[in-house]
């Protein structure tokens, strides 16, 4: 089953004390690879504001670099007790080509880029048009019902953009999580 999320957030509280009072009858497990009538796991994106910091941009200014992290957290479904769940995913950024701009209150633009590597050579996108994405796999079982993978992201504001007066600049990167759940 493939799901697509756009920066969603949820909290799952595990009530282990309730298991002491109720004895469930054994369930028949669906065949391998299927999760029954449920999703098997739910995943979310955890992202923070990417901040390039303060800097004065002029016609001869150098680029401004920044970095941060983004993570994916998956939680095994409660009805998948005693089953192993594997979540394979791709964490994508849009647009697919590196054409990102920040705007200020006067509607001026600053060009910036997002990368998946510290050398800032591989653009973060969806894996097409020369871009890279973050692939990952999370394994969930009775000991680990919640799993998280953290990915570093790197950014650069292109230097030499002379139209940049001091002030705040804002831009948005749409992040999409595509994942497939397999139960065993």
Complete edge-to-edge strand list for the sheet that includes strand 174-183: 2-5, 174-183, 85-94, 134-140
pLDDT at 7: 30
16: left (phi over 0), alpha (psi -120 to 50) or beta: alpha
Q: What is the pLDDT of residues 126-144, one digit of tens each?
A: 988 889 999 999 999 999 9
Domain that holds residue 178: 2-12+31-183
Assess if residue 24 is contained within a domain.
no
All residues at 6 or more sequence positions from 146 whose CB lies less than 8 Å from its CB, including other chains: 12, 73, 74, 75, 76, 140
Q: Is pLDDT larger for residue 113 or for residue 6? A: 113
CA dihedral 72, 73, 79, 84 (to 10 degrees): 70
Assess if residue 136 is contained within a domain.
yes
Assess if residue 18 is contained within a domain.
no
Whether 109 has a pLDDT exceeding 90, the answer reads no
Assess if residue 22 is contained within a domain.
no
Assess if residue 25 is contained within a domain.
no
Q: What is the pLDDT of residues 56-86, one digit of tens each?
A: 777 888 899 999 999 999 999 888 888 999 9
Assess if residue 20 is contained within a domain.
no
pLDDT at 4: 28
pLDDT at 52: 84
Answer for the pair 168, 105: CB distance below 8 angstroms, yes or no: yes
Burial zone of 102 (CB within 10 Å; 0-12 exposed, 13-18 middle, 19+ buried): middle
Assess if residue 117 is contained within a domain.
yes
pLDDT at 163: 65
Q: Whole-prediction pTM value?
A: 0.76
Total domains, the chain: 1
Answer for the pair 118, 154: CB distance below 8 angstroms, yes or no: yes
Q: What does the pLDDT average to over 112-125?
A: 94
| Share of residues in the chain with pLDDT > 90 (%) | 42
Whether 46 has a pLDDT exceeding 90, the answer reads yes
pLDDT at 49: 85
pLDDT at 9: 24
Read off the CATH number of the domain in which 157 is found.
2.60.40
Q: What does the pLDDT average to over 144-153?
A: 96
All residues at 6 or more sequence positions from 48 whose CB lies less than 8 Å from its CB, including other chains: 68, 69, 70
Assess if residue 69 is contained within a domain.
yes
């Amino acid at each position: 089953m493939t799901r697509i999320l756009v920066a969603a957030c949820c909290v799952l509280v595990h009530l282990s004390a309730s298991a002491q009072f109720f004895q469930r009858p054994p369930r028949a497990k669906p065949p391998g690879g299927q999760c029954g009538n449920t999703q098997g796991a739910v995943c979310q994106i955890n992202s923070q504001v990417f901040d390039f910091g303060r800097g004065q941009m002029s016609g001869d200014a150098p680029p401004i670099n920044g970095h941060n992290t983004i993570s994916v957290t998956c939680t095994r479904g409660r009805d998948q007790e005693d089953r192993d769940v594997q979540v394979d995913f791709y964490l994508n950024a849009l647009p697919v080509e590196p054409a990102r701009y920040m705007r200020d209150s006067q509607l001026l633009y600053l060009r910036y880029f997002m990368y998946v590597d510290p050398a800032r050579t591989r653009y973060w996108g969806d894996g097409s048009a020369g871009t890279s994405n973050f692939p990952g796999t999370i394994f969930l079982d009775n000991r680990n019902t919640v799993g998280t993978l953290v990915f570093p992201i790197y950014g650069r504001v292109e230097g030499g953009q002379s139209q940049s007066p001091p002030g705040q600049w804002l831009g948005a990167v749409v992040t999409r999580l595509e994942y497939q759940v397999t139960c065993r």
